[in-house]
Structure 1
Amino acid sequence: MSAGVSIDLVSVPSGLVTLSDRRTRRRWTVQVAAFELAAYPVTEGLYQRVTGRGGPHRHRPVESVSWWDAVRFCNALSIVEGRTPAYRWGQAADEVDWDVAADGYRLPAEAEWEHACRAGTTGPRYGPLDDIAWYRGNSQERRHAVGGKLPNAFGLYDMLGNVWDWCWDRYDPAVYGDYRVLRGGGWFDEHWSCRASVRRRSHPDLAIDDVGFRVARSVHPMTAIR
């Protein structure tokens, strides 16, 4: 790994996870393969070391990054480590494919995110909210340094609260086009938004002060591009 760039990855075991959507009242079950997920959201310090851009709070999660910023960061971090980038751009600037055979960094798929967040639990949260998350009730309406609350059983911090996490998936292409999924809730959200099952959507160009991301990596790469 290049000097000055470090990232803590947690091994997430395979398993089944059932997702749900309040808007459509739909439920669906996904088999998730084992993968690795960052223990913390990407911080301003890490973002700056990789991209040259970032704010002054090196231990706080980076925010005001779009989905496009996040996927470009994943490729840049992969290149720093000498890994194969997970994302390939098409002929149009807004076309990107995920090369699932690559060993580089990527955004988690939505099902991976929820499976990792739950860490074997079945309730709305993996612990008492004030113990595990920064949200409107305790955040003083600002971001906090990552890792300041208790992790889940997998050793993942800030899965709920602090900043929302971008995921790879489109939310509902037939209705919302390219809108991508956000998960986890943020520092400005009420308690009902900081639950493992809550889905939020936004345009991939959105950059706002309660949205960040964390990176994932495949353990057993497949052989297709999607």
Structure 2
Amino acid sequence: MVMSTKQAPFIFCSVLCLTVSCKQESALEEKTVVVDEARASCHESMPSRFTTTVKSDSIKKGEVSHEGMVWIKGGAFYMGAADTEGRQDEYPLHQVKVDGFWMDVTEVTNAQFASFVEATGYVTTAERVPEWEEIRKQLPPGTPKPADSLFVAASLVFTPPAHAITLQDARQWWSWTKGASWRHPQGPGSNLEGKEQHPVVHVSWDDAVAYATWAGKRLPTEAEWEFAARGGIENQPYPWGTEAIEKGKPKSNTWQGQFPNQNSNWDKHTGIASVSSYAPNAYGLYDMAGNVWEWCADWYDAEYYISLKEQVSYNPNGPARSNDPTEAYVPKKVMRGGSFLCNDSYCKGYRASARMKSSPDTGLEHTGFRCVSSL
């Protein structure tokens, strides 16, 4: 039998999926975790990239420039969902105080990331061939090694089906694509021509940290990100307030129509948009909702907010380690902001309190980042 390019990578990914599934039942018996399918994500429970670990300690820390950044005056706010729209990991609402910080006005663009690569010769995670020694660290002991033919440089590309489907399995609209990377967002044959001001995508958390180090900056904590996204608006669901996403004029780059096979193009974009295509929030920040998910510095813990409910947290840096009961063997980092695939009927990842997570070595077509600086 000849495997298609879409099937073969998922045979590789299934090594993790099958071995983890037998562990999940016992984990869920110990911890009650309710997954609301109506509020699932466009990439919920995707397998990790399974690739070479890229260390940013080889990147020399640069001198920070505040050009293209805005100063966010610190303060106190209530973090998490204040309504019933949130997923379970967005509760309880808890008070947080953060010091002031600088934040990039936009997501890091292809042009900016190209300058970094030109200056350093950096090779992103998606452009590196996976290494079995790194893969096996995320798998139960005794997991057999997949075929050598499956070890290829690749990344996850959105591949919408031609008809309506059930939404329980995100692998129906994501494909590991050989040759996909920040230079080739849709795989071989695609390029960045005319997309210089699009947010860079297919960047792993490790790639984002490397860029931030070179720029003399860092990734925002989850608390800083949400504080900035809210723009001083207390306990409202969106960075712009309470107006529903499809009321009035387009406010962000999201999905309208039937996900994942039909996009009505109401917001004038069916894919990624150039940064600053929509109005900024009250702090002057663009795309704090929609366009691409943004990496944060924190590890993801499904129960982290519960541990903070009885106290005021000052500049929280997140949990000490990852805790995702649905994929116990895969450490996760937090992502915020939603993407062009988020929609009113399914994901709503563009809410200010919405949380997503992914393994640090995973790159996707709708994942990018922005940086902050305390100096």
TM-score (norm. length: structure 2): 0.48
Cα distance in 1 for partners of 2:66, 2:215 equals 10
Map of 1:180 onto structure 2: 333
Alignment of 1:61-210 (within 5 A): 61-78=199-216, 105-122=217-234, 123-127=236-240, 128=243, 129=245, 130-137=249-256, 138=267, 140-172=269-301, 173=321, 175-176=323-324, 178-191=331-344, 192-210=348-366
Map of 1:23 onto structure 2: 88
User: Structure 1 unaligned runs (5+)?
Assistant: 79-104, 220-226
Instruction: State the shift of 1:76 in Å.
Output: 1.6
Instruction: State the shift of 1:18 in Å.
Output: 2.0
Instruction: State the shift of 1:6 in Å.
Output: 8.6
Check 1:16–1:149 CA distance in 2 against 1; reply closer, same or farther (3 A cut): same
Report if aligned partners of 1:131, 1:150 keep a CA contact under 8 Å in 2: no
Instruction: State the shift of 1:50 in Å.
Output: 1.1
Q: Match for 2:355: what amino acid?
A: R
User: Structure 2 unaligned runs (5+)?
Assistant: 1-61, 82-86, 124-181, 184-191, 257-266, 302-320, 325-329
- Aligned-pair identity in percent equals 32
The match for 1:42 among 74, 84, 108 is 108
RMSD, aligned α-carbons: 2.1
Q: Which structure is higher in strand share?
A: 1
Cα distance in 2 for partners of 1:106, 1:61 equals 17
Cα distance in 1 for partners of 2:206, 2:107 equals 16
> How many residue pairs end up in the alignment?
190
Instruction: State the shift of 1:195 in Å.
Output: 0.6
Check 1:46–1:207 CA distance in 2 against 1; reply closer, same or farther (3 A cut): same
Cα distance in 2 for partners of 1:139, 1:206 equals 28
TM-score (norm. length: structure 1): 0.77
- Is the deviation greater in 154-163 or in 46-55? 46-55
Q: Match for 2:222: what amino acid?
A: E
Q: Match for 2:88: what amino acid?
A: R
Q: Write out per-residue CA displacement over residues 100-142 of structure 1, whole angstroms, 9 at most, x where no aligned residue.
A: xxxxx00000000000000111311132535431001236431
Check 1:174–1:185 CA distance in 2 against 1; reply closer, same or farther (3 A cut): closer
